[in-house]
A and B are shown apart, each in its own frame.
Chain A
């Protein structure tokens, strides 16, 4: 794993999305993307040619992700955060909220990538309901 310079946290997520060839999974329980126009554009652009799935906490719906084109799912009690494509993964302590909070983002190696995708498949996906 590699802790990312906090100045590049969102750039790293944008890069992951732009590099994706098959799918993008965004797991962010709470969201406020206002002002992150490059991230929003990257998500919408990706959604035109591959599967983009966006998981939020039950009850959040589309709060803070207005104008985002992705398949949105709600998950009860979701508090985990992760972002992955078919080949890259990032975990973070932060939701995708454009606030000046102190958070670390961490780029995963191959084994860690498998671990986090496995966690997603086991603990998050089964409880998800599409909006």
Chain B
């Protein structure tokens, strides 16, 4: 696992999305992507390429800050963990996907054991608690 230069945090997520071959999972309890056009474009392009894109937010947040994104949106009660992964690499961070000036670190994970440890956490503690958000309220 390797720490990222903070100025590269979002670019690393853009690369992860663009390099995805099968799926992308974003876990960000709170979100505000306004101004991150390259990330938003990468997400929507992934959807157009047939990548399964799942986005997990905290219960009650719904699509706040995610307007215009083509993703499968889920809410999870008491979610505060942050992680981002495709079928091969992962990023963990102290940040939500919020375009602000806060001080945050992010680590990139490419070791297979570490990747498995993180995705196991997701499968054990997050995925089972997820409820699909009301699609009628979410603009695809």
A binding-site residues for B, Cβ under 8 Å: 1-3, 6, 75, 77-82, 91-94, 99-104, 106, 109, 112, 115-116, 118-119, 123-124, 127
- Cross-interface CB contact of B118 among A3, A6, A100, cutoff 8 Å: A3
Determine if B87 is an interface residue (Cβ-Cβ < 8 Å): no
Residues on B with C-beta less than 8 A from A82 are 105
Distance to closest chain B CB from A25 (angstroms): 14
CB-based contact B76/A116 at 8 Å = no
Show the binding face of B for A, using Cβ within 8 Å: 1-3, 6, 76, 78-83, 92-95, 100-105, 107, 109, 114, 117-118, 120-121, 125-126, 129
Known: A3-B118, A91-B105, A93-B81. A80 touches B92 (CB 8 A): no
Q: Tell which of B92, B103, B107, B118 touches A124, judged by Cβ atoms closer than 8 Å.
A: B103
Give every chain A residue within 8 A of B109 (Cβ-Cβ): 1
In the complex, which residue of chain A has the Cβ closest to the Cβ of B119? A3
Question: Which B residue sits closest to A77, measured CB to CB?
Answer: B102
Q: With both chains docked as a complex, state the minimum distance between the C-beta of B55 and any C-beta of chain A, in angstroms.
A: 16
Give the residue among A75, A80, A123 with the most B Cβ atoms within 10 A: A80
Contact B107 A112 (CB under 8 A): yes
Residues from chain B with Cβ under 8 Å of A127 in the complex: 103
